[in-house]
Structure formats: structure tokens, C-alpha cells
């Protein structure tokens, strides 16, 4: 459904002159590679989390895939079309949400923007009503339809933006930071909706975000990019297995503690009732530690915590020096 081969995008930017008046821009230019030699494929119905630090090239990829930008080299085929060459046909197949921008008209009621989109996409009355009814129900839009966009909260507006992107029932949805700035309740509502629309309409989703809980809630596959290059492409489970370096064991015991020492296990904190132990997984394992603890302590409770995914990603960024 999506085939990206050796995609590169270079921008020419004016060099800034160093010194007291650093805002002066010289006539010299330098080339910034936003993407370099990027390749990946996506199948119908997949939800892929597309992640990377600031400036990695995520938005550039989405802009090329949407037909907004033309790459410097390489190819991108989406449902058999090259986005920047067949823009009109291509936009019928895709919906795009940029979390930081609006595609709704600011001063008019939401429903007027939707009706304008009906005309732009030349939807029949039947198709428009079917799609709108479903989106209004799933995203709880009834109370918002007759309000001007400028009166909506960020979370309310984002629900309307997502509806606007899906009104013409596209097969593919590009989401660029759809949960940015949303509170926990709105984030969960947006995530539930994305999952539902993927299951019921079979929509293929590519999601860029800095919020790893979006990825954990939605994506089975993860593509990590840094400095315009693909660094990881695989499932979240494998990523955790490969990059989670340690686990934390919290043990509550009845008797006051004895001395504790085990290879690869480091006590982070200890009181007369509780110890927090870090297990370095390359040297030892949680079952071995638990066995050791049960033979030495009168244990009341044990909890095992995995490294949060955010920390895993930070470790990956460090490892790849991005
Ligand atoms: N129009 C442009 N002109 C010059 N440089 C650009 C332009 N657009 C992007 N870049 C550069 O290309 C690189 C990739 O930018 P891009 O916006 O794709 O990153 P991103 O991964 O989306 O970052 P963020 O997470 O901060 O949104 C950056 O170095 C950026 O400065």
C-alpha cells in the first residue's frame, strides 16, 4: 500500500554569519539533509508509529507522503500513485492531521467546514451523511457542530480535525502529533477512536508522536528515524527485548533485612521493610533474584517494574548518537 524507496530530501539554507550581529544572513548556502536514503513499506490496515527526536525528519516524510513536498531523490508510491505527481487523485486516498495546524475555518461553525469539505471532495449526499453520522457518533461531535472553531478547546478541536480528515473516507490516515497538548481524557478518546476507525474502516495509519504512550496504545510496529535515516523498524515487543537493559524489583519483607549480594543486582534503596533492587539483565535475571530472595527473606510482596518505554527510547537515541 505504501512503498518508499531510497527517499532523500535536501534543503538549501542560508548560512548565518557568526559574530555580534548574528542575525545577519550571508549569501552562502549549506545543504541540510532532512531525509537520506529512507526506505520502508506498509501493508493495508497497519498502524505504524513513526518516531524520532526533534528534527529527525518525521514531518518531512509526512509532507512528501501527502504530496506537499517533492523529494530530492528516491521514490514514494502510495496506492499506486506518486503523491506529488497525482495530487488530486492522491488526496482522495489520504487524510492528514497536523496536530499543530488546523484545516478547519476558524470563524465559521464546524458543520460549515465539513460541508465545504463535502464539496471539495465531491461527496454524494449519501456518502457524506454515512461518514458524518459515524464520525459524529464515535467522536461525540453533536454539541460542537454548530460552534465556531475558535470557541472550541484544543481537545474538542482535535476531535473535529480528525473528523474533517476522515470525512471523505480515505484508506490512509497520516497523523502528525495528534495528541500534542491534550489532557489525559482527550488523549484516551483520540486513541480509542484511531483504534476503532482502523478496525472498522480498515484505515492504514502512520502516526508521528513524541508521546510513547500513544505508540504503546496503538502501534504494533515502530519505525525510528534519526538525522533523516531509518534506525529501527520492527515491533515494540522486540524493541523492548533488545533495548531494555534492566528491570527493577521491589520486595516487601517481614523480618529485618540481612546482607544481600547477588551478581548483576544492585540495591537502589533499602529500609527494614522494603528493598528496591535493579537487575542488570545482561548479568542476571529476575527469576534468579526472586529465588535468592525467597530463600533469605520472609517475603510479603514482590513487584517487578519494566523500564518505561520513554527511557528505552532515550537509551536508543544515545546508542545511535542522535
Ligand atoms: N523548509 C525547510 N527549510 C530548511 N530546512 C528544513 C525545512 N523543513 C525542515 N527542515 C530541516 O529538516 C530537518 C528535519 O525536519 P522535520 O521537520 O522533518 O523534523 P521532525 O522530525 O518532524 O521534527 P519535530 O519532532 O521537531 O517536529 C530539520 O533539520 C529541519 O530544520
Mean pLDDT across 257-277: 85
Residue 205 pLDDT: 96
Task: Indicate the class that CATH gives domain 42-240.
Answer: alpha beta
Nearest Cα neighbor of 94 from 167, 35, 34, 152 is: 167
* Ligand 1 proximity of 264 Cβ (cutoff 6 Å): no
Distance of CA 221 to the CA centre of its chain: 11
For residue 38 and ligand 1, the question of a CB distance below 6 A is answered with no
Q: What is the mean pLDDT of residues 7-31?
A: 75
pLDDT at 93 over 80: yes
Distance 59 CA to ligand 1 centre (A): 7
Mean pLDDT highest for which of 25-34, 83-92, 208-217, 259-268? 83-92
For residue 26, what pLDDT is reported?
A: 62
| Domain spans of the chain, in order of start | 42-240, 246-306
Contact 320, 231 (CB under 8 A): yes
Q: Is the CB of 13 under 6 A from ligand 1?
A: yes
Q: Give mean pLDDT, residues 161-166.
A: 94
- 245 Ramachandran zone, left/alpha/beta (phi>0; psi -120 to 50): alpha
Q: Please state the pTM of the whole predicted model.
A: 0.81
Give distance in angstroms: CA of 57 to centre of ligand 1: 6
- Among 7, 13, 59, name the best residue to mutate to test ligand 1's pocket (greatest count of ligand atoms within 8 A of Cβ): 59
Is ipTM > 0.85 here? yes
Residue 101 has pLDDT above 90, yes or no: no
Answer whether 68 contacts ligand 1 (Cβ < 6 A).
no
Task: Report CA(119)–ligand 1 centroid distance (Å).
Answer: 33
What's the pLDDT at 258? 65
Closest approach atom of ligand 1 to CA 61: 18
pLDDT tens-digit profile of 230-253?
Answer: 989 998 888 877 778 888 999 998
Amino acid at each position: 500500500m505504501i512503498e518508499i524507496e531510497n527517499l532523500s530530501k535536501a534543503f538549501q539554507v542560508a548560512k548565518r554569519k557568526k559574530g555580534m550581529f548574528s542575525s545577519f544572513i550571508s549569501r552562502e548556502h549549506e545543504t541540510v539533509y532532512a531525509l537520506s536514503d529512507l526506505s520502508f513499506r506498509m501493508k493495508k490496515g497497519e498502524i505504524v508509529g513513526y518516531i524520532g527526536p526533534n528534527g529527525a525528519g518525521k514531518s518531512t516524510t509526512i509532507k512528501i507522503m501527502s504530496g506537499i513536498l517533492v523529494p530530492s531523490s528516491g521514490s514514494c508510491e502510495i496506492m499506486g500513485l506518486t503523491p506529488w505527481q497525482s495530487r488530486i487523485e492522491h488526496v482522495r486516498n489520504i487524510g492528514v492531521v497536523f496536530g499543530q495546524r488546523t484545516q478547519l475555518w476558524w470563524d465559521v461553525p464546524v458543520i460549515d467546514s465539513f460541508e465545504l469539505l463535502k464539496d471539495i471532495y465531491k461527496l454524494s449526499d449519501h456518502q457524506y451523511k454515512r461518514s458524518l453520522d459515524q464520525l459524529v457518533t464515535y467522536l461525540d461531535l453533536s454539541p460542537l457542530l454548530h460552534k465556531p472553531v475558535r470557541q472550541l478547546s484544543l481537545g474538542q478541536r482535535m476531535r473535529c480535525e480528525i473528523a474533517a480528515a476522515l470525512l471523505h473516507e480515505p484508506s490512509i490516515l497520516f497523523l502528525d502529533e495528534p495528541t500534542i497538548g491534550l489532557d489525559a481524557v482527550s488523549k484516551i478518546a483520540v486513541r480509542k477512536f484511531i483504534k476503532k476507525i482502523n478496525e472498522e474502516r480498515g484505515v492504514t495509519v502512520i502516526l508521528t508522536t513524541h508521546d510513547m504512550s500513544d505508540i504503546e496504545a496503538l502501534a504494533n510496529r515502530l519505525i525510528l528515524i534519526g538525522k533523516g535515516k531509518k534506525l529501527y523498524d520492527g515491533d515494540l515487543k522486540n524493541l523492548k527485548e533488545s533495548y531494555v537493559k534492566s528491570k527493577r524489583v521491589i520486595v516487601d519483607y517481614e523480618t529485618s533485612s540481612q546482607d544481600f549480594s547477588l551478581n548483576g543486582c544492585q540495591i537502589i534503596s533499602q529500609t527494614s521493610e522494603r528493598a528496591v533492587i535493579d537487575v542488570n539483565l545482561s548479568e542476571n535475571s529476575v527469576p534468579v533474584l526472586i529465588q535468592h530472595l525467597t530463600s533469605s527473606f520472609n517475603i510479603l510482596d514482590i513487584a517487578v517494574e519494566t523500564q518505561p518505554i520513554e527511557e528505552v527510547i532515550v537509551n536508543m537515541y544515545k546508542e545511535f548518537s542522535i
